[in-house]
Amino acid sequence: MPNDKWNDEEIENLLRDFPKIQDGRQKAEVYNKLAQKEKMPRQPKRWLPLLVAIVAFLSISVLVASLLQQGGTDSSSETENSDSGPTMSTDEAQTEQAEPPEGPEGESEEDANLAAEQPVALRTAVYERDVEQSHILRVGLAYNGYVVPISFVIPEQLTDTAEPDAVELYETFAIQIDESALGFDEYHPYAGELEQNDSVISHFLPDGHSYDQGSASTLLYLSSLEETFMNQQEIRVLDEGGEAAQLSHIGIVEPFVPGEQGQSFYLLATSTGDWHLAPAYGMSPENVEEALMALQQSPNDDYHSPVPEEINYRVEMDGENATLVFEELLDLETLDGVEAMQMIESMALTAQSYDTSLRISNTVQAEWAGFDFSKELELPVSPNRIDWPEK
């Protein structure tokens, strides 16, 4: 690198030797040209439109969400104002809509009616109130050698007379019963002639009848006759000459009183699969205490116990009055409604057949399905109700 050294004097002389630059333009002219000089255009920012679009989209989304929320709030507010209550779930809303207007005491009249009537609808027997403006045709229908009493409730306007006797009612309607459709054997009407004198029923058997083909057929016939005319004082089985009939397996048939011997009522299924409460003829104890206790066990393969296996009870007697006490506190609502009703009605029918009152004790419910367990149980007047169709 050259080692030249410059001093101030030399630099100063060198600068003086440069030619002088002169500009003869006026200051105003120079200023105007500078003012008119165009600025260099800037490079456009390509990301700016995308940013603007994103911001716009977010703004619109927020706005729409806000409007929807406001609309939902307004709708909820209107619902609350109209229902005078808090917002409820869908199921609750459907329940609320299904409820009828409330009655004067805060409980809807329809709800009160349902509470009173719906459990009663589970009942399968005929009770005293069912007899009003109706006639009860009780018929002992047959199935596989067993007798099942079926009670047809017939509106009184369907009968020719205001108070038909038992034979008139039977002869008018028994022939119309479609036994096979109900799951039973074809057995009615009886062969021969029926006659009623006051409360005495006479059945005149024709020659060649089939009611004594065997001990089973004879028992079926007599049991059916007894169930069909249960409310009469006496039944007589006669030949065509009016004398006491003689059946090959029992000899002369003596007049007998229907219902004189009580029966335990068990469940029996017919060909349709329907279950009915039926008396166990020939298998029932002599007294009501033993008959009620016997309900816990099936007497054979065809009869079934109406009492669930897990339920145990005892029977206490006070003279002719029976009290059935469950060993453990029984909540009837934990049972199937039909099974619970079959159990209660089998007990009631069994007690009724022995002409004995019945109390049921140690249940969670003081009242259930129209039964009041705080007093003597309401007993049926006849089992297995079927309403006769009105014309």
Asked whether residue 247 falls in the same domain as residue 227, the answer is yes
Asked whether residue 171 falls in the same domain as residue 225, the answer is no
Asked whether residue 196 falls in the same domain as residue 345, the answer is no
Q: What is the CA radius of gyration of the chain?
A: 49
Asked whether residue 279 falls in the same domain as residue 379, the answer is yes
Which of 223, 241, 260 is at the close of a domain?
260
pLDDT in tens, the chain (391 residues): 444 555 666 766 766 666 665 555 555 554 555 544 444 444 444 545 555 556 566 666 655 565 555 554 444 444 444 443 333 233 333 333 233 334 434 444 554 454 444 445 589 999 998 888 899 999 999 999 999 999 999 999 999 888 899 999 999 999 999 999 999 999 999 999 999 999 999 999 999 999 999 999 999 999 999 999 999 999 999 999 999 999 988 999 999 999 999 999 999 999 999 999 999 998 989 999 999 999 999 999 999 999 999 999 999 999 989 999 999 999 999 999 999 999 999 999 999 999 999 999 999 999 999 999 999 999 999 999 999 998 6
Residue partners of 324: CB distance under 8 A and separation at least 6:
292, 313, 314, 315, 347, 358, 359, 360, 361
| Residue 171 covered by a domain | yes
Asked whether residue 224 falls in the same domain as residue 265, the answer is no
CB environment 127-160: b (16+ within 10 A), e (fewer): beebeeebbbbbbbbbbeebbbbbbbbbeeeebe
Which of 245, 260, 275 is at the close of a domain?
260
State the residue range of the domain holding 239: 190-260
- What is the tally of structural domains in the chain? 2
Residue partners of 87: CB distance under 8 A and separation at least 6:
76, 79, 80
Which of 222, 243, 260 is at the close of a domain?
260
Asked whether residue 332 falls in the same domain as residue 272, the answer is yes
| Residue 17 covered by a domain | no
Is the pTM higher than 0.95? The answer reads: no
Asked whether residue 208 falls in the same domain as residue 147, the answer is no
Tell me the C-alpha distance between 383 and 152, whole Å. Answer: 10
Asked whether residue 321 falls in the same domain as residue 378, the answer is yes
Structure tokens at 341: 């009703």
Query: At residue 275, what are phi and psi to the nearest 5 degrees?
Result: -100, 135
- Give the closest residue to 240 by CA, choosing from 202, 210, 212: 202
Asked whether residue 228 falls in the same domain as residue 355, the answer is no
Is residue 295 within 8 Å of residue 266, measured between CB atoms? yes
Task: Tell me the residue ranges of DSSP E strands in 261-303.
Answer: 265-269, 275-279
Q: Is the peptide bond before 189 cis (omega within 30 degrees of 0)?
A: yes
Largest Cα–Cα distance in the chain? 179
Asked whether residue 203 falls in the same domain as residue 130, the answer is no
